[in-house]
């Protein structure tokens, strides 16, 4: 089930059940990155380490991926799937990741 398909009541129940996700939306969103970048963003194989990534640079890199200005095998497609608020939450999360 996706968040957008949830009724407000179901969404509230989910937020109450997962206070960590509510308090740190970046942590929840980062689960989608863990399969490739590792649980804390430490990088796996040839996938880059993104722990402690500079917030402003993250936003810049993300925009470059979206607009195909940065070489990418997969991040160009991934970057298009996130809203500005989600990108800001991810930038904040990985800036703090260690």
CA–CA separation, 32 and 37 (whole Å) = 9
Q: Decide if 44 contacts 37 (C-beta within 8 A).
A: yes
| Direct distance between the N- and C-terminal alpha carbons of the chain, in angstroms, rounded to an integer | 30
Residues that bind ligand HEC (CB under 6 A): 32-33, 35-37, 47-48, 50, 53, 58, 61, 72-75, 78, 90
Smallest separation (angstroms) from ligand HEC to the CB of 51: 11
Annotate 7-16 with b (16+ C-beta within 10 A) or e (fewer): eeeeeeeeee
Task: Name the residue nearer to ligand HEC (CB basis): 37 or 66.
Answer: 37
Smallest separation (angstroms) from ligand HEC to the CB of 88: 11
Task: Name the residue nearer to ligand HEC (CB basis): 12 or 69.
Answer: 69
Smallest separation (angstroms) from ligand HEC to the CB of 7: 26
């Amino acid at each position: 089930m996706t968040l957008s398909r949830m009724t407000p009541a179901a969404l509230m129940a989910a937020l109450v059940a997962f206070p960590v996700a509510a308090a740190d939306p970046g942590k929840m969103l980062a689960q989608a990155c863990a399969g490739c970048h590792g649980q804390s963003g430490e990088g796996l194989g040839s996938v880059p380490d993104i722990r402690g990534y500079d917030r402003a640079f993250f936003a810049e890199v993300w925009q470059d991926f979206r607009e195909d200005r940065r070489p990418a095998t997969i991040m160009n497609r991934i970057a298009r799937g996130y809203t500005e608020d989600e990108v800001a939450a991810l930038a904040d999360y990985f800036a703090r990741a260690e």
